[in-house]
Amino acid sequence: MIPENLQSELITRFKKVFKGDFFLDPNGKKVPVKVYEQHLPIPKRNENPHDEFAEEDNSYSFYPAIVVQLFEGIQEQWDLNQIITVNIIVGVYDESETRSGYKDVTAILRKIYMDLAKNRLMKKQYSLTVPPRWKIHDEDTHPFYFGAMLLEFEEAMQILDEGVTKLI
C-alpha cells in the first residue's frame, strides 16, 4: 500500500465517523464536517460586481474542516518497517464572545481518537502503533479555532528484493 492509499482510507473513515454530526458554520447554520486531502481548497475570489475590491472569498465555507495531511515517512533500516506520520488538522469557526470554538475542536479530535482506539488497523497494511498525540493551537486566531492530531502508522514489511517481487 502506498501512503496516499492510507490517506484516502483515513478520509473515507472520518467521513463515516462524522456522518450526522453538525457544527456551526460562519453563517450560523449547522453543517456537516468537511474532510479534505492534504490542504484546504484554494479560496475562489468573489465575483460579485458590487464588491469593489473583491475582498470576500469562499474560504469561510471550508469550515468546520478536517484535513488529512501526509507528513513524513521514516524507515531507520532496510529490514525495519516504515513509519508513516499523518497530521490531522481540525478547524472550526466560532465568532461567539465566549470564544469556545476550541471545545468543538477538542470534540472532533476526541471522536477521531475514540474511533482509532477501537480499530488501529488500516486495510491490513498500516497499524497505528502508538496512541495519537493531539494539541490545540494556542495563538489567538478568533473566530477560527484549530487543533491537530499526530498519527504514526507502521507499514507492513515491504519486499524490496526484485527477484522475489517478480515471483509474486
Q: Is residue 48 part of a domain?
A: no
Q: Is residue 51 part of a domain?
A: no
Print the domain residue range for 66.
3-40+56-167
Q: Is residue 49 part of a domain?
A: no
Element (H, E) at 1: none
Q: What does the pLDDT read at residue 161?
A: 56
Helix, strand, coil % in the chain, rounded to nearest 5: 25, 30, 40
Confidence of residue 46 (pLDDT cuts 50, 70, 90): low
Q: How many domains does the chain have?
A: 1
Nearest to 23 by CA among 117, 123, 135, 105: 105
Contact 103, 146 (CB under 8 A): no
Q: What is the pLDDT of residues 57-72, one digit of tens each?
A: 677 889 999 999 999 8
Q: Is residue 50 part of a domain?
A: no
Q: What does the pLDDT read at residue 56?
A: 57
Q: What does the pLDDT read at residue 24?
A: 86
> Cα-Cα-Cα-Cα dihedral of 140, 88, 21, 34, to 10°?
90
Longest C-alpha distance within the chain, in Å?
66
Residues contacting residue 52 through CB under 8 Å, at least 6 positions apart:
none
Question: Comparing 160 with 65, which gets the higher pLDDT?
Answer: 65
Angle formed by the axes of helices 3-17 and 101-118, nearest 10°: 110
Q: What is the pLDDT of residues 82-135, one digit of tens each?
A: 899 999 999 999 998 999 999 999 999 999 999 999 999 888 889 998 999 999
Q: CATH number, domain at 17?
A: 3.30.70.1700
**Residue 30, C-alpha cell as written in the block:** 449547522
Q: Is residue 149 part of a domain?
A: yes
Q: Is residue 47 part of a domain?
A: no
Question: Comparing 45 with 117, which gets the higher pLDDT?
Answer: 117
Q: Is residue 89 part of a domain?
A: yes
Q: Is residue 26 part of a domain?
A: yes
Amino acid at 3: P
